């Protein structure tokens, strides 16, 4: 089961410059674990102390996972996961 994970510019040093990579997992936590196995070092930039880092947003099919189930959010085949740093608007 492959899920497309979109990687922001600042984390592409871990993915050889790839904008999107494949990973698998039944939950977001498993997905990030698989991502780490394929691209060592990336997990620590996304997760800190078992929680999403404060300035990192992750979207499952465009919905913020903090409002779904956090790292426990279930993921299904065909979903898209997007990682983005938090930026200001206004």
Partner 1 sequence: MRFDSLIESVGRTPLVGLPRLSPSADVRIWAKLEDRNPTGSIKDRPALWMIEQAEKDGLLTPGCTILEPTSGNTGISLAMSARLKGYKLICVMPENTSEERRQLLRMYGAEIISSPAAGGSNEAVRVAKGLAAEHPDWIMLYQYGNPANWRSHYESTGPEILDDLPTVTHFVAGLGTTGTLMGVGRYLREQKPDVKIVAAEPRYGELVYGLRNVDEGFIPEIYDEGVLTTRYSVTSADALKRTRDLLATEGIFAGISTGCALHAAIGMARKAVQDGERADIVFVVADGGWKYLSTGAYEGTLDEAEDRLEGQLWA
The reply to whether 88 sits near partner 1 by the rule CB under 8 A is yes
Contact 79, 3 (CB under 8 A): yes
Pick the piece of the chain touching partner 1 (CB under 8 A) from 26-34, 35-43, 50-58, 71-79: 50-58
Q: Does 18 bind partner 1 (CB under 8 A)?
A: no
Residue 17 found at the interface with partner 1 (CB under 8 A): no
Which one of residues 2, 10, 18, 37 is an interface residue with partner 1 (CB under 8 A)? 10
């Amino acid at each position: 089961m492959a899920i497309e994970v979109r990687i922001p510019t600042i984390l592409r040093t871990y993915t050889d410059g790839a904008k999107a990579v494949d990973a698998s997992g039944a939950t977001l936590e498993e997905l990030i674990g698989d991502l780490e196995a394929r691209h060592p070092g990336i997990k620590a930039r996304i997760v800190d102390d078992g929680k999403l880092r404060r300035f990192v947003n992750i979207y499952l099919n465009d919905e913020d996972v903090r409002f779904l189930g956090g790292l426990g959010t279930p993921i299904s085949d065909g979903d898209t996961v997007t990682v983005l740093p938090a930026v200001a608007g206004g």
